[in-house]
Chains A and B, each alone.
Chain A
Amino acid sequence: AQSVSQHNHHVILSEAASLELGCNYSYGGTVNLFWYVQYPGQHLQLLLKYFSGDPLVKGIKGFEAEFIKSKFSFNLRKPSVQWSDTAEYFCAVRKSGGYQKVTFGTGTKLQVIP
């Protein structure tokens, strides 16, 4: 079964610092990859997704992620974080083709200090 690992459980950064959150998945075939964000007290919403093509994916609010197939990774990055980026971030993976369930990682809580 596929699995998703997010090694950073809690990250604390100062405003303007750069961010990189790690995500690794276990499935060896073709995958679709996602990052979701959950702001305090809110529901999850899609930040960005990768299905095919350019492995560098740009999402909303200045976030981007790079799919590196050889490393089974899909790390999330942002050059300069803001206080409003304080949230929990979830990586998710889905096998490509037909109905395949989405598997979520355990999440990374990001706290940005003003």
Chain B
Amino acid sequence: EAQVTQNPRYLITVTGKKLTVTCSQNMNHEYMSWYRQDPGLGLRQIYYSMNVEVTDKGDVPEGYKVSRKEKRNFPLILESPSPNQTSLYFCASKTSPNTGELFFGEGSRLTVL
């Protein structure tokens, strides 16, 4: 089954404790992206990757890092999480940067205390 898989789905952590949210897709998509969803703000792009070893900042990259060493994986790293990073995070992928439809993961709800 074609899917985008994120882990963990739920996480409660404390300020400053490094964490990684993994994202994996099995559709051989070139393009992958991370979004955060906050009430009243919709989805905002954090980072995106057009292909392996090619990543770029989205609209709200501060406090986040990403890497794209393999085509299928695009982990989101919070080196020193802060409470303002409490949010619902979605990973998404699409066939190539130029195509339209995004396929989303199930979401990861992160709470930073």
Contacts and interface: CB of A to CB of B under 8 A. Distances in A.
Interface residues of A, number: 23
A65 B105 CA distance: 25
A102 B102 contact: yes
Contacts of A49: 100-101
Interface string A18-59: 000000000000001010100000111110010100000000
A50 B43 CA distance: 20
B48 A101 contact: yes
B101 A34 contact: yes
Interface of A: 6, 9, 32, 34, 36, 42-46, 49, 51, 90, 94, 97-99, 101-102, 104-107
A17 to B, nearest CB: 25
B42 A90 contact: yes
Contact of B100 (A9, A32, A42, A104): A32
A90 B100 contact: no
Contacts of A98: 97-98
Nearest to A98: B98
A44 B90 contact: yes
A90 B43 contact: yes
B58 A101 contact: yes
Given A42-B106, A106-B41, A107-B42, A94 B90 contact: no
A36 B107 CA distance: 15
Contacts of B104: 43-45
A33 to B, nearest CB: 9
A90 B104 CA distance: 13
A94 B100 contact: yes
Given A90-B43, A106-B41, A43 B106 contact: yes
Interface string B33-70: 00100001111110010100000001000000000000
Nearest to B45: A101
Contacts of A43: 4, 90, 104-107
Interface in B2-29: 4
A32 B106 CA distance: 24
27 contacts: A9-B40, A34-B100, A43-B104, A43-B105, A43-B106, A43-B107, A44-B43, A44-B90, A44-B92, A44-B102, A46-B101, A49-B100, A49-B101, A90-B42, A94-B100, A97-B98, A98-B98, A99-B50, A99-B97, A99-B98, A101-B58, A102-B100, A102-B102, A105-B42, A106-B40, A106-B42, A107-B42
